[in-house]
Structures are given as C-alpha cells and as structure tokens.
A and B are shown apart, each in its own frame.
Chain A
Amino acid sequence: MTTTLEKPRTQRPALRRSGDWARRAPLLPALVFLIIVTQLPFLGTLVISFMNWNAYYPDERGFAGFDNFARVLTDVTTREAIVTTIVLTVSVVLISLLLGMLVALLLDRAFLGRGIVRTMMITPFLVVPVAAALVWKHALYNPEYGLFNGLLTAFLGPNAPQPDWVSTLPLTSVVAALVWQWTPFMMLIILAGLQSKPLDVIEAAQLDGCTNLQVFRHMTFPHLRQYLELGGLLGSIYIVQNFDAVFTITSGGLGTANLPYTIYQTFYNAQDYGRASAAGVVVVIGTILIATLALRTVSSLFREEGSR
C-alpha cells in the first residue's frame, strides 16, 4: 500500500522497502509506546462512558447506552463545571496574554538590568504549581495573616478593610494565582516574537516619522499575531486541564470546580466510573475543538520555518 504512493526512485522495490523500514525503525518504539499508554486508556474511557458502572454497586454493572451522557449534560453540577472551566480558561488566558504582551514590550527595549528583570519575570513559572497555590492560599490570601491584608493594615492603619479573599472572590482568587504563573509563559513566547520582528522595516518607518503607536498597530502587532495565537492556544490546552490550583486554593468549593476537578471527584470520591468517563469524553470533545485550532497555528508557524 505504501509503495504505490512513493516517489519513483532508481532502487529495486525490495531494497526500497527494506530502506523504508530502516527509516521507520527508530520511530517505532516511541510511536508504539505512546499509542499504548495514551490512546488505549482513552478507548477504555469511551467504552466505560457507555456503561453503568459504580464501584460501590458492583452488581449493577452493565450497558447504559447514552444514560451517562444524558446525566452529565443535564446535571447542574456538570453544567456549572463546564461554565466554570470556560470562564476560568478564557479569563486566565486573556489576562495573562495581555499582561504578557505588555511586559514583553517593556522587556523588548534596552534598559539597565534587563536580564535581571527577565529572570525575575520567569520565576513565578518555575514555582511548583501546588507550592505556588499553597503560598497564594496561605501566605497571601489568608484574611488574618496573609500578605495582602497585612499590606492593607500597613498602609491604611489598624482600621483597614480585611476581606476574606478566597471566600468572597473564590474564582477571582484562583484566576489571579494562575495569571501570576502563566503571564511569564505568555511573556516568553511574545518576547520571542518581538525579537524576531523585521527591525530594518520598523527603523525605516520610524525614520519616516511614524509614531510608536503607528509602528505598533501596523507592524509589530500583525507580526505578533501568530505568537499571540500560539501562546493563547497552548495556554488554553494547559489551563483547561488545570487541577492543582482549583484543588489547592478552594478544594473545588464555592463554584470553582472545573471539569477536571469534577471528574476527579466523580471518580475518586463518588466512584461513579460510568459518569466520570462520560464527563471525560465531553472534555475531550471540547479540547479537540481548541486543539484543532492550536494544531493549525503550530503548523502555520512550522511551514514558515520550513520555507525559510
């Protein structure tokens, strides 16, 4: 089958075929390993999503048809989790993209200690996510001894307001902690984009009397677009799956339970395997929508690199 598609070459067919396999051989271990470890479990999830299977009621195991999906999609908890996931992902990605772009623009110019500032900016991304979430929860947000309320007291005196950040603004608290961790990621990608922009053209435009704003709007921003897309889509893939921050800061309470956390709950605590799997399938379908876009963006960057 494969030989018919091959470009005509001078070798004899038998030789050519063995050459093909010699080329493929180094690839196969990785490919086989990945298919077994990542694709087969998902097939398992797909099968279980059509089954009535709760580990607490082992006798009732059987085929359930679309019942799990009906339950998942009509259930208030899941619907809330879907909304939470979307709100969480969109707000974290957009805010960190915007901040990341602003910081990248600041860092794209020469100033004293640029390297130090760049290193300081990367640091939040290099704190283990669970550790970062713990620090935000206990050392920053805590209403009695957290840094935020401590600073309020320090600057406004003993009568300063002392809000309980996590209880009053639960989702915002999670978003803020995640934005802090993901802005460096966006900043790095956008900074790479800025540093690859055609400097000669921009210098020419500046000499011709274009204002900085004009240069940004008509030259820098269009060039940055694909980097913004790449950052946004890669960020979305990671943040849609976020578990650490939700688990640590709010333990999924107060309306912050996103889909990964809800699925974890359904499976780990409620032991409802069928329903957890159906929810898993729903997440995968959602992710495929984002992923298709992401793949398209990566492949456009990729083609550009190839044509260079």
Chain B
Amino acid sequence: MTATVERATKTPSELAVAPPRRRRSGAMLGVVAWIVGILFVAPVVWMVLTSFHSETDAATNPPSLFAPLTLDGYLNFFGASTGASPWPPLLNSMTASILSTVLVLILAIPAAYALSIRPVRKWTDVLFFFLSTKMLPVVAGLLPVYLIAQGIGMLDNIWLLIVLYTSMNLPIAVWMMRSFLAEVPVEILEAAAVDGSSLAHTLRVIVMPIVLPGIAATSLICFIFSWNELLFARVLTATVAQTAPVFLTSFVTSQGLFLAKVCAAAVVVSLPVLIAGFAAQDKLVQGLSLGAIK
C-alpha cells in the first residue's frame, strides 16, 4: 500500500530533488493522513451502517459489523411503529431554511453592493457593525423575543423562525457577498453607467452573472445554519411549527431498543446539510471565515 501512495507523491521535479528518505517519510505521512481521515469519518459511517441494521443487530456488544441490512430503522422513524410522523417537522425546517435564505439574499445582496461596488462612506464601520451583531449570544436576546412573540401571537409560528434565521444569517451573507462582489471589475460598471444603464439593469446584466457562484455558496451556508438551529426553535415553537432538530430532541432520553431508529433519524435530518455542504465544499471556508479567507 505504501508503494502506491509513494508513486503518487512523486512529481518529476520532486523525483530529481527529493532524497529517498524524505520520499519514504512523505508516503508514511500520506498513510497517517488516511488513518486520521478514516477515524474522523468513522462515527458517520457507523451512524449510517447502524441505521440500516435491525434494532437487535444494532444493539450487540461486540458490534455486529456484517449484520444483514434492513430499512426497518427508517420505516420506524417515518412512523410505522409510533404514528408520530417526522414529515411536518422536516417540512417546517425546509420552509424556514429556504424562505429565510431567500430573505437573506434579498437583503444582503443590495447591502453588499453598497459596501463594495458603490461603497458608502465609512463602509468598513458598517461591515463591522454587521459582524458585531453576529457575536451577540443568541441566548441574550431570546427572552424579549419570546415575550414579544407571545404578545403578538406569533409563538409556534414558522414565520417567527424565518425572521429570526434571516437576522442570524444576514451578517454572514453580507460579509460573504461583499467578498464576492469585490471581485467585480468596477470599470465595466462605470462603462455601463456611461451608456445610461439603470442600477437594476446593471445589477442584473453585469453583476449577477459574475457573482452567481458566490450567491450559490452563500445560500448553501445560510441554509445549513438555519437547518441546524436548535435553541430558537426549541423555545419558540411547540407542535405546529416544530423543526427537525426539535423533533430529534425527542430521542434524547433512551427508549429501549431504538438505536437503528435514532441513527436513521440522524441520517435523514443530516442529509440536506451533507448535500449542501459537499456542494459548497470549495467555498465553505470562505463562508465560515465570513469572507476573510479566500
């Protein structure tokens, strides 16, 4: 196995320069990297494998790696045994995540435009104000939000979560979109302005095509953060607007043999995030560092 790894590390220039000892240690480090990667992914693999085992096979000690596969865990999770369907929470999560992401984009793209292409004065201060709101702990504003929502009858309403998730992701989106818009060549915009194009037209025809990949990455990251959110949803929703993470909290206390069901639940709820995350893999770090890293 080491031999194959070694072969791949040799580029022609390295072959000429690198002494044999360094090449062998390089191959060793490749093997170490593989082992570390496998260790990190192992709990996820175990989660997926267990979700396809029967409850009795899932709860053996030592673990039964090669037990027959079955869909029972998934059937149980989707309500075959209990009647409590996870579909309403999953749909609520989908609604809250998608609509809040759309709202975030509607608010963030013009804001990012005013912070990069035609910057307002003191635009860095504004940018840092956006970031500073992200640093205010969620839990510190939770109670007034709860009391206001109670006062206007918005508790257990998905729109309340949509508004809150929008505010939660807006600073991230403004920062990300700004870093993408900063790559738009301003000369082209000026030429368009001279030709008499309106702002909306300029945005649509010139800016958008250049920054569309950025918009895609921003949306995926906002979607992930909204989908994952637990604290707001736990406090502000009950039966009607419950989201998928809140539904998962019903598995916190053990219920006898239910490991396959729990793992199936974890897989189903994580699937949209895994898909969005792998799709945004290359832009993930830019989003997580708020555009500070390219």
Residues of A within 8 A of B (CB): 2, 5-6, 20, 23-27, 29-31, 33-34, 37-45, 48, 102-103, 106-107, 109-114, 116-132, 134-140, 142, 144-145, 147, 149-151, 153-154, 162, 180, 183-185, 188-189, 191-193, 227, 230, 234, 237, 240-241, 243-244, 247-248, 251, 259-260, 263-264, 267-268, 273, 276-277, 280-281, 283-284, 287-288, 290-291, 294-295, 298-299, 301-302, 305
Contacts and interface: CB of A to CB of B under 8 A. Distances in A.
A301 B278 CA distance: 26
13 contacts: A26-B110, A27-B110, A27-B126, A45-B141, A112-B5, A112-B8, A117-B37, A130-B248, A134-B266, A138-B262, A150-B60, A243-B231, A267-B142
B143 A110 contact: no
A45 B44 contact: no
A2 B122 CA distance: 11
Given A135-B47, A299-B128, A33 B231 contact: no
**Which of A24, A42, A138, A276 gathers most chain B CB within 10 Å?**
A138
Interface of B: 4-5, 7-9, 11, 26-27, 29-30, 32-34, 36-38, 40-41, 43-44, 46-47, 50, 58-63, 107-108, 110-111, 113-115, 118-121, 124, 126, 128-148, 163-164, 166-167, 170-171, 174, 224, 227-228, 230-231, 234-235, 244-245, 248-249, 251-252, 254, 258-259, 262-263, 265-267, 269-270, 273-274, 277-278, 281, 284-285, 288-290, 292-294
A99 B118 CA distance: 42
B105 to A, nearest CB: 11
A114 B41 contact: no
Given A130-B248, A185-B288, 11 more contacts: A5-B121, A20-B120, A25-B110, A30-B107, A34-B170, A37-B164, A44-B143, A128-B227, A134-B252, A237-B134, A264-B231
Nearest to B175: A298
A132 B234 CA distance: 17
A284 B136 contact: yes
A29 B108 CA distance: 9
Nearest to B292: A301
A302 B290 CA distance: 11
Given A23-B120, A27-B115, A45-B144, A106 B139 contact: no
Contacts of B121: 2, 5-6, 20
Given A26-B111, A106-B32, A298-B290, A125 B139 contact: no
B288 A188 contact: yes
B179 to A, nearest CB: 8
A120 B40 contact: yes
B266 A192 contact: no
Top 8 closest A-B pairs, CB basis?
A44-B144, A111-B30, A26-B110, A41-B141, A131-B266, A126-B277, A112-B8, A37-B167
Contacts of B244: 128
Contact of A144 (B44, B59, B143, B289): B59
Nearest to A114: B33
Contacts of B4: 112
B150 to A, nearest CB: 10
B40 A121 contact: yes
Contacts of A248: 249, 252
Given A48-B144, A180-B40, A128 B254 contact: no
A244 B229 CA distance: 9
Contact of B278 (A126, A127, A291, A299): A126
B60 A145 contact: yes
Contacts of A42: 136, 140-141, 144
B248 A27 contact: no
Contacts of A188: 284-285, 288
Contacts of B249: 130, 247-248
Given A122-B284, A131-B266, A267-B142, A110 B227 contact: no
Contacts of B108: 30
Nearest to B115: A27
B32 to A, nearest CB: 6
Given A111-B5, A122-B277, A295-B128, A45 B140 contact: yes
Contacts of A40: 144
A183 B41 CA distance: 12
Contact of A145 (B32, B224, B227, B259): B259
B140 to A, nearest CB: 4
B229 to A, nearest CB: 9
B33 A111 contact: yes
